[in-house]
Structure 1
């Protein structure tokens, strides 16, 4: 019998001792989407559903050796970045991506935890914008993260379009601004790419506090689907459905923001399908970075 060869996917992120986000959420998501997960841990966090109690960045040598160990032995079909914390870590990641010619980079620009704990040094934001985003196939900020990246206030639909254009001007091939922080009955995520293609992914907003790790999970599923050779729209739809199911069947653990349920899409599917609408926009910068 011939063994099945699984695509290998790499997550470069922080460890979440509570198991709902970070490396732990990514590995669970990879397993659910039938890819083989590898990891580079950038920091160890002490956290649970009530918040982040401590962040302990790994020394640069430890991060560098992890990157080299993966790059010298595995064929990485896609990768995602999460918590990178500081400038030196971002520089190591950028160097490794170039050194090993890794493609299908999904950048989840983790900056602040749900409870307000800073997970990215201020100086590192500029390094992400200038060095990491030009390597990305897609960057997946939520609305507060998009505001940090663009220095724009996002209140309405036209603000999201402007922010998307500004992020694209930094060099990323595409951007997905997630609408989980919105207040309407519909949770709308907006995708744009360098061609001016715009896709609106809409699902019913769910009233729950058990949303810990949603951003990590969403981006991990995207990376898994791209590793399998899926086209971007198909990957986006799968990721949106996956996270909708994970929130619908979230696990009420702990005393704060509980985790989502990573096996929910496989076990339960979703109650209502995701709507997907297409538009085209004229990019203000005409593709010039």
Structure 2
């Protein structure tokens, strides 16, 4: 006999692309969600053929397939938080924005624009759709500095530029912006702000090139913590701790860049 009193954990939905190498995308999202104690669900918007060396191929799913997955999950199970990742074309961004506009749950938008290998993952015409349709629905948006430039044309040269970047991103409508400053020289600092309150998250720079999946992992960790009831600054702080540990234990895989270790707390 099964235990009929089992409690269902909070459910979190990721809408993103599949990474065949298992380090980023949907696969990173689901591993992160499990590690943080929530039930992960997925809407696959694209399938990639990729490994430690880069992305070899990319196939979008038809918008009706993406919409049907969204309706299936949100209509029956529901989500306490939603995370969006790679949505490469205008029609996919629109499809997801349409479904989420009427759904009442926090949304973490990882505005995926470029991969670790420098591959462009967002069509130029999709940038505008992302800005006008998806970012206004975001509870938190988590761009790196390249993505800030892609979305706002603001180029950050040093830590003093993070605030201006955040203000430019907030003008696009999200409630909170988390500007990831890891690509700047010096100790990495991320800036989180809603335009009034400002938090800075510093971490040591880890000498580890196995960082595939960090962006996906951070956004999923934030969504997981929001689903567990944290407020935004608390969710980001805990997500940062999880990701820093995962990067510290990133491991080699194949001939290129390895992934972070999603299971580091258990190993």
Instruction: Note if contact 2:11-2:40 (Cα within 8 Å) is conserved in structure 1.
Output: yes
Instruction: Note if contact 1:76-1:102 (Cα within 8 Å) is conserved in structure 2.
Output: no
**Does 1:63 pair with 2:66?**
yes
Q: 1:190 is matched with which residue?
A: 191
Which segments of 5 or more consecutive residues in structure 1 lack a partner in the other structure? 269-289
Q: How does 1:270-281 map to 2 (within 5 A)?
A: none
Alpha carbon RMSD of aligned pairs, Å? 1.1
Tell me which of 136, 139, 149 is aligned to 1:137: 139
Q: CA-to-partner distance for each residue in 1:7-42, whole Å, 9 max, x for gaps?
A: 110000000000000000000000001100110000
Q: 2:128 is matched with which residue?
A: 126
Tell me which of 166, 173, 187 is aligned to 1:164: 166
The ranges of structure 1 where at least 4 consecutive aligned residues each deviate by more than 6 angstroms after the TM superposition are none
SS in 1 for 2:266: helix
Which segments of 5 or more consecutive residues in structure 2 lack a partner in the other structure? none
Deviation at 1:243, TM superposition (A): 0.6
Aligned residues: 264
Q: CA-to-partner distance for each residue in 1:36-92, whole Å, 9 max, x for gaps?
A: 011000000000111010111111121111111112111210001000011111111
SS in 2 for 1:204: coil
Tell me which of 102, 105, 108 is aligned to 1:106: 108
Tell me which of 36, 39, 42 is aligned to 1:36: 39
CA distance in 1, matches of 2:120, 2:65: 22
Deviation at 1:102, TM superposition (A): 3.4
Q: 2:266 is matched with which residue?
A: 267
TM-score by length of 1: 0.89
Q: CA-to-partner distance for each residue in 1:115-161, whole Å, 9 max, x for gaps?
A: 12121111111111111111110000011111111101110123211
TM-score by length of 2: 0.96
